[in-house]
Chains A and B, each alone.
Chain A
Amino acid sequence: MSLDNYLVLAAILFSIGAATVLLRRNAIIVFMGVELMLNATNLLLVTFSRLHGQLDGQVLAFFVMVVAAAEVVVGLAIIVSIYRTRRSASVDDVNLLKS
């Protein structure tokens, strides 16, 4: 398998994640889109790490996992608190702040 296959797969996964964030309505799903973007990046990092024959990229991938876990904690706390207030996790219902 050539390098390109890995890069294309990572780009496709990243685009799916980005599209999820931009198009979906449910905050939890949007959040899953962000996680998919982060994991697509991890694939990219590990691929490049192998390409360059050193571990920097893999180390960064581990940090990304830790940060993603911390992000889940904070994000779910916020989404759950909104859900308990409104009985809805749709990002369209959250529209009190408008310009």
Chain B
Amino acid sequence: MSTFTAPHVDWAHLSPVLIVLGAAAIGVLLEAFVPARLRRTVQLSFSLAALAGALIAVAALWSGVKSSGGVHVLGTALVVDGPTLVLQGTIALLAIVALLVVADRTSTGEDAFAPSAASVPGSDYEEAARRLGLQQTEVYPLLLFATGGMLIFPATADLLTLFVALEVLSLPLYLLTGMARRRRLLSQEAAMKYFLLGAFASALMLFGIALVYGYSGSLSYATIASTTANPTGTDSLLLVGAVMLLVGLLFKIGAVPFHAWTPDVYQGAPTPITGFMAACTKVAAFGALLRVVYTVIPGLKWDLDVVMWTVTILTMVVGTVIAMVQTDMKRLLAYSSVAHAGFILTGVVALTPGGVSAVLFYLLVYGAATIGAFGVVWLVRERDADGVVVGEATHLSQWAGLGRRHPWLAGSFALFLLSFAGIPLTAGFVGKFGVFSAAVDGGAWPLALLGVLASAGAAFFYVRIVVLMFFSDAPTEPAAGEPLEPSTQADVVLEGGATPAVATLVAERAPALTTTVVGTEGWATVSIGFCVLVTVLLGVFPTPVLDAIAHMSTFLP
């Protein structure tokens, strides 16, 4: 009888991932066994503790990896090297900040999620669930599962893990997208679009994985890199496979022409989830893309440059131009995130060592500003004639004069926008400077030039919002006869017709809506404050963080 040799598992280097995924699994059990009235408190503190634990685990691994350069874990499934740790730390930190916004409730005890996501919008059942004060605390384990997938995604060292991590991070996000408390039809619709397009993109990526496997005979990044280092002629199997693999990753990033889902999903999803998704998914997906481009297929640089350059240029230009004509705040931020994906891609295309650290820094500052901005959007609400606070005031005209009534909130939003625009002394400037100079170093100066031009164009609509908030008067009443959002007032055939709970449906706009800032338990304010702090500090004193990242930006082959 043969002897059994236990595999060697490096538990310590897996700890950030294990903590988060383990906590998510326990969170599901908590859902079953904790009494309903305690559930939210327990789930929230447990999730925060898990994410903080992951952050601490990353910090504990930091110096070891810095001196050793990194290790492979679980055979060749995962690699824990410098960029992995930086990205995992960024994701854990941003997830904590986003979780604070997700957990926040208004002064009337409403969180951002439907009291019962399974109920039909506008039904008696939904109304009963709302009156009973039910809450979907499943949000917290779902969020942890998504975060766990994101922690694995940039650490993958073979294609199998890449695919599984992609699905682990996507599936919970599809569900979270469809759970908004208000405008539930939009939310469900966004979830379906996100799901169908996401599944399509992951099928394309999987086909690419199969073709690359067929060419190289291995799923491991290291072997693929050595077989593709000197491609003999143009093997269509490899080229098509590599392009399809990139398409899957570019979809998650939201690069043009794979961005079609971004505005719809960002608009329809519950705003705190939009913030989480916009920041953390982008960090994880760019991490995986960086690793693929830098360590797996650098041998194909000449062949793939055409694809990457086209996508980068399109992403910057289309994102900026379409953002200029948006009238909805969440859609505007969505197109702005598309444009930012383009700016970050210039650093990826650069293919220089400096490009990696520039991209890592950019992701951190972009993520912080994004979560903060969506946190503000979540707080700015509409109030109907009776003084009851309803959904988010997402139409741009509703933000007019906000700076006079709520200078601090509008001020922090303005700061985030200026950081997006890349104004000096904000973190966004340092980030943009980093990726554009990396692009110039890498010989991609046309991209850098175009990036600067696109940034200037983008500054136009960011500054327009700042002007709108601080230098224009609040409309005393919305212009009569002008439907604010015609598309949301489409005829929706509902079973049961008009029901009392119709307020949770699509069209929440009665004529006499005013804009207000909702009072909350304060978690979102803490989160926004933290994002302001990061944006200012990294704008004024970026050197310590830049240095720390620069020492950790070498991929282990």
Contacts and interface: CB of A to CB of B under 8 A. Distances in A.
Tell me which of A47, A67, A75, A97 has the highest count of chain B C-beta atoms within 10 A of its own C-beta.
A97
Contacts of A18: 200, 203-204
Contacts of B164: 63, 67
Contacts of B213: 45, 48, 56-57, 60
Nearest to A39: B203
Interface of B is mostly: helix
Contact of A96 (B175, B203, B488): B488
B393 interface: no
Tell me which of A52, A86, A95 has the highest count of chain B C-beta atoms within 10 A of its own C-beta.
A86
A63 B213 CA distance: 15
Nearest to A98: B487
Interface of A is mostly: helix
Given A57-B213, A87-B495, A96-B189, A74 B195 contact: yes
Nearest to B240: A11
A24 B113 CA distance: 32
Nearest to B208: A41
Interface residues on A, range: 35 or more
A97 B193 contact: yes
A85 interface: yes
Contacts of A44: 207, 210-211, 214
B543 to A, nearest CB: 41
B424 interface: no
A94 B192 contact: yes
A45 to B, nearest CB: 5
Given A44-B207, A78-B178, A78-B188, A70 B167 contact: yes
A59 interface: yes
B207 A41 contact: yes
Nearest to A74: B171
Contacts of A52: 217
Contact of A67 (B163, B326, B490, B494): B163
B206 A82 contact: no
A44 to B, nearest CB: 4
Interface in A30-45: 30-31, 34, 37-38, 40-41, 44-45
A39 to B, nearest CB: 10
Tell me which of B160, B175, B186, B206 has the highest count of chain A C-beta atoms within 10 A of its own C-beta.
B206
Contact of B192 (A45, A63, A82): A82
Interface string B210-227: 110110011100000000
Given A45-B210, A97-B189, A37 B203 contact: yes
Given A45-B213, A70-B167, A86-B492, A37 B207 contact: yes
Contacts of A27: 192, 196
Contacts of A51: 214
Contacts of B336: none
Contacts of B199: 31, 34, 71, 75
Interface in A68-89: 70-71, 74-75, 77-79, 81-82, 84-87
A85 to B, nearest CB: 5
Nearest to B191: A78
A96 B490 contact: yes
A91 interface: yes
A96 B184 CA distance: 11
B189 A63 contact: no
Given A38-B203, A41-B207, A48-B213, A96 B492 contact: yes
19 contacts: A18-B203, A30-B196, A31-B199, A34-B196, A37-B204, A41-B210, A47-B214, A57-B219, A59-B160, A60-B209, A67-B164, A71-B167, A71-B199, A74-B175, A85-B188, A85-B494, A97-B190, A99-B322, A99-B326
